[in-house]
Amino acid sequence: MPIIDVKTEITGNVWKIEGKVGQKLQEDDPIMILESMKMEIPVACPEDGVLVEILASEEDVVTEGTVVARIEV
């Protein structure tokens, strides 16, 4: 089964982790919420799959293009 890297689209702080490793996700389900410029921006699952790894923790600072999770499709 292929693994897909989930990347951030913006620079910000990881505010809240929504997904759990092993969880089945649908496309556009939130994996985590970033906070940037006082806005909450979800990092969504790019397609249906199982969350196999979370690579960021709450309060981490991430930049645009950072791989924050991996899903198996």
Unique residue bearing structure tokens 């689209």: 9
- What's the confidence (pLDDT) of residue 16? 98
- What's the confidence (pLDDT) of residue 1? 79
- What's the confidence (pLDDT) of residue 35? 97
Enclosing domain of residue 60: 3-72
pLDDT, one tens digit per residue, over 41-57 is 999 999 999 999 999 99
Question: For 34-40, what is the mean pLDDT?
Answer: 95
Q: What is the CATH number of the domain that holds 54?
A: 2.40.50.100
Which tokens is 47 given?
A: 């397609």
- Beta strand 12-17 with 39-44 is unpaired
pLDDT, one tens digit per residue, over 3-27 is 999 999 999 999 999 999 999 999 9
How many domains does one find in the chain?
1
For the chain, the residue count is 73
* Cα distance between residue 8 and residue 2, in whole Å: 20
| Cα angle 63, 69, 73; round to 5 | 135
The strand pairing partners of 41, in sequence order, are 34
